[in-house]
Every structure is written in structure tokens, then in C-alpha cells.
Amino acid sequence: MNWPVECAVVIPCLNEAATIGAVVAGARRYVPTILVVDDGSTDNTGVVAEQADAEVLRHAETRGKGAALQTGWRAARERGFQWALTMDGDGQHSPDDIPAFRNCAERTAADLIVGNRMLNLRSMPWQRRIVNGWMSRRISKAAGRLLPDSQCGFRLMNLDAWAALPITTTHFEVESETLLGFAAAGCKIEFVPVQVIYQAERSKIRPLRDALRWFRWWRRHQSSPPAQHLRTCKITRAPK
């Protein structure tokens, strides 16, 4: 992989002015192109990101994490990037873990590499530990394979594989839908250990609203799972 040419970092943000500058600066040590999607922030998230040398894409109003990710992924692919590395803007993902994603992609030729926080459970708040474990078991069963951390948003994704999938969710259920979409298409999925960082940040997840939204998506998936003919993940890769 020609990392600087083929990969862009995509960071969805909502009111992350306090942390986004450091996240962008850390990521730029490894990847030169950073796309920050400002999802209708009411603070100066976009200004701080631009000062840190990120390119900022703005939503006029808040549309949800999934919508922000889709905006960033489309922009990266339109600019000719083959890969998108997604990170959160609140500092929960360490830029120092970025080389592990690159090394895994080069070693395994996987189409989707997901961060795995579940090897360091003592550093994760107990509520998230329980919810993440429960969801990951359900997603693993639906995919027919072990997916140890289905909710981690720290991911490296092949954009050609993503573009072939019917991803429609616009909020936090996007992580689940994308993972199951890659699995249904027969794409190779790998996991890499990442650090667990929880500080004083306030989660953007609204437990009741987002749980209900996830369950609505899950019911739709259960009633109409991806067709078997989608298992055709054939990505044309440039020779090394």
C-alpha cells in the first residue's frame, strides 16, 4: 500500500472543538490527508480542524454520525483514495495505533480492518463493556463468524468495497450495518488491538433514542438479511 497516496483519514465530528485539533495533529504524523466532517457543530470545531491543516466538510445541520461518515467516504473516493481510515474526533482513538491498521492491511489483504478494544476491558466503562459485548455477540451470530468488537469506529476500509454495498443508516447503527455488509459480501475482515481511552468526554450517544434506532435497524435486518448473491467481494488492487 502506498499509504500517503492511497489513504485518507475521515473524522466525523459534532462539537469537538476541545479535542479535534490534537486528533488531527496526531493523525497527520501518519497520514497526510485528513477529512473532518463537521456535522452541524455549534462550536468552532471546523475552525480548529482547519487550523490543524485538515480539510473540513460541513453539514449545515446535524444529520448523524452515519451520514457524516458517508459524506467523508464519498469525498475520499471522489478524490481518488482507495482507503479510508475512520477515527472519532473526541480523542478516544489513539493516532499511535494507526500503523497497526496499515500493517494488517499489507499483511492480510483484508478489505476491512476494525479496532478491537475488548482485550482491555478493565479500561472500558462497565456500561459500554456490557452493551458492546451484547451487540458484538448478535452481530457475530448474524455474520456467521466471530466479530469481537462490532461497535468500534476506529477502522480502515477499502472504499471500492464500501461503494458496492447498500449502506443506508445515518446514525450510530452505521458501524453494525457496515460490518454486516462487508461480511455478507464475502469481504475479508480483520481486527487489530487498539488502546482503550475514556476521559472526560461526553458521549454523543443518547441511550434511549439510539438504542431504539439500533433495534429498528436490527429488526429490518433480521426480516430481510442480505442475499447470498452479495457474496462477491472482488476488489481490483493495484500491483505493489
Total number of domains in the chain: 1
Whether 108 is covered by a domain: the verdict is: yes
Could you give the angle at the alpha carbon of 106 between the alpha carbons of 101 and 110, nearest 5°? 75
Confidence of residue 229 (pLDDT cuts 50, 70, 90): very low
Global model pTM greater than 0.85: no
Whether 24 is covered by a domain: the verdict is: yes
Assign residue 119 the CATH number of its domain: 3.90.550.10
Whether 137 is covered by a domain: the verdict is: yes
Residue located via cell numbers 471500492: 160
The more confident residue out of 139 and 129 is: 139
Whether 235 is covered by a domain: the verdict is: no
Confidence of residue 187 (pLDDT cuts 50, 70, 90): very high
Of the ranges 143-147, 211-215, 227-231, 234-238, the best mean pLDDT one: 143-147
C-alpha closest to that of 38 among 79, 8, 10, 68: 68
CA Rg value for the chain: 17
**Could you tell me the strand order of the sheet in which 7-13 lies?**
55-59, 34-39, 7-13, 83-86, 155-158, 112-116, 189-193
C-alpha span between 18 and 22 (Å, rounded): 9
Whether 207 is covered by a domain: the verdict is: yes
Kindly tell me if the per-residue pLDDT of 207 is higher than 80.
no
Whether 239 is covered by a domain: the verdict is: no
| 164, 173, 211, 213 from 160: Cα distances, Å | 7, 21, 30, 28
Confidence of residue 141 (pLDDT cuts 50, 70, 90): confident
Relative to beta strand 83-86, strand 112-116 is unpaired
Q: Which of 4-18, 53-67, 114-128 has the lowest mean pLDDT?
A: 114-128
Kindly tell me if the per-residue pLDDT of 50 is higher than 80.
yes
- The pLDDT, as a whole number, for residue 223 is 60
pLDDT, one tens digit per residue, over 107-131 is 999 999 999 987 665 666 656 667 7
The more confident residue out of 219 and 4 is: 4
- The pLDDT, as a whole number, for residue 212 is 64
Whether 238 is covered by a domain: the verdict is: no
- The pLDDT, as a whole number, for residue 142 is 82
C-alpha span between 154 and 175 (Å, rounded): 10
- The pLDDT, as a whole number, for residue 228 is 43
Kindly tell me if the per-residue pLDDT of 202 is higher than 50.
yes
Q: Which domain holds residue 36?
A: 3-225
Kindly tell me if the per-residue pLDDT of 194 is higher than 80.
yes
